[in-house]
Structure 1
Amino acid sequence: MTARRVQGARRARRAPAAIAVLTAALAVSGCGVASGTAESVAVKDSLVIGVKDNEPGLSSRGAGGAYEGFDIDIARRVAERLGVDAGNITFKKVASEERERFLSTGEVDLVVASYSITQERKTRVTFAGPYYVAHQDTLVRKADAAAIKDVRDLAGKRLCKVDRSVSYTRVRDERGVAVLPRPGDDYADCVRQLSSGQVDAVSTDDLILTGLAARAVESGGGPALRMVNAPISDEPYGIGLRKDDTDGCEAVNKAITEMYQDGTAPGLLRKWFGPAGLKVTTTVPQFEGCD
Structure 2
Amino acid sequence: MRLTITLAALAATALSFTASAQELTGTLKKIKETGAIAVGHRDSSIPFSYLDDQQKPVGYAMDICAAVVAAVKTQLNLPNLEVKYTPVTSATRIPLIANGTVDLECGSTTNNLDRQKQVAFTNTHYLTASAFVSKKKNSLLKIDDLKGKTVVSTSGTTNIKQLNDVNTARSLGINVLAAKDHAEAFLMVETDRAVAFVMDDVLLASLVANSKAPADYQLSTEAFSKPEPYGIMLRKDDPDFKKLVDGATAAFYKSPEGVKTYEKWFLQPIPPKGLNLNVPMAPGLRKAFSAPTDAADPDAYGS
TM-score range, shorter chain: 0.7 to 0.9
Q: Distance in 1 between matches of 2:200 and 2:192?
A: 21
CA RMSD of aligned residues (A): 2.8
Which residue of 2 is the match for residue 244 of structure 1? 237
Q: Distance in 1 between matches of 2:277 and 2:40?
A: 26
Q: Aligned match of 2:88 in 82, 94, 110? A: 94
Q: Aligned match of 1:149 in 141, 150, 162? A: 141
Which residue of 1 is the match for residue 11 of structure 2? none
Judged with a 3 Å threshold, the aligned counterparts in structure 2 of structure 1 residues 21 and 81 are, in CA distance, closer, same or farther, namely closer
Matches within 5 A, 1:27-66: 38-39=27-28, 46-66=36-56
Judged with a 3 Å threshold, the aligned counterparts in structure 2 of structure 1 residues 55 and 180 are, in CA distance, closer, same or farther, namely same
Which residue of 1 is the match for residue 280 of structure 2? 279
Judged with a 3 Å threshold, the aligned counterparts in structure 2 of structure 1 residues 180 and 254 are, in CA distance, closer, same or farther, namely same
TM-score (norm 1): 0.78
Q: Is the contact between residue 141 and residue 223 of structure 1 (CA under 8 Å) also seen in structure 2?
A: no
Q: Distance in 2 between matches of 1:142 and 1:86?
A: 51
Q: Distance in 1 between matches of 2:192 and 2:176?
A: 14
Computing the radius of gyration over CA atoms, which structure comes out larger, 1 or 2?
2
TM-score (norm 2): 0.75
Q: Aligned match of 2:192 in 197, 210, 214? A: 197
Which residue of 2 is the match for residue 162 of structure 1? 154
The Cα of 1:234 is off from its aligned counterpart by 2.4
**Which structure 1 segments of 5+ residues have no match?**
1-13, 23-36
Which residue of 1 is the match for residue 294 of structure 2? 288
Q: Distance in 2 between matches of 1:221 and 1:289?
A: 38
- Name the SS for the 1:82 alignment partner: helix
Q: Distance in 1 between matches of 2:286 and 2:21?
A: 33
Judged with a 3 Å threshold, the aligned counterparts in structure 2 of structure 1 residues 15 and 270 are, in CA distance, closer, same or farther, namely farther
Q: Once the two structures are superposed, what CA deviation does each residue of 1:167-218 show, in whole Å capped at 9, x if it has no partner?
A: 02213315734222123121111111111111111111122112211111xx
Q: Distance in 2 between matches of 1:108 and 1:21?
A: 18
Matches within 5 A, 1:1-291: 18-21=21-24, 38-39=27-28, 46-83=36-73, 85=79, 88-144=82-138, 147-174=139-166, 176-177=169-170, 178=172, 179-216=174-211, 220=212, 224-231=216-223, 232-274=225-267, 275-281=276-282, 282-285=285-288, 287-288=293-294
**Which structure 2 segments of 5+ residues have no match?**
1-16, 268-275, 297-303
Q: Distance in 1 between matches of 2:30 and 2:208?
A: 35
The Cα of 1:157 is off from its aligned counterpart by 2.4
Aligned length: 259
Worse-matched range after superposition: 172-181 or 253-262: 172-181
Q: Once the two structures are superposed, what CA deviation does each residue of 1:2-34 show, in whole Å capped at 9, x if it has no partner?
A: xxxxxxxxxxxx987643236xxxxxxxxxxxx
Name the aligned partner's letter for residue 293 of structure 2: F
- 4+ runs deviating over 4 angstroms: 14-17, 40-45, 84-87
Give % identity: 20
Q: Is the contact between residue 27 and residue 241 of structure 2 (CA under 8 Å) also seen in structure 1?
A: no
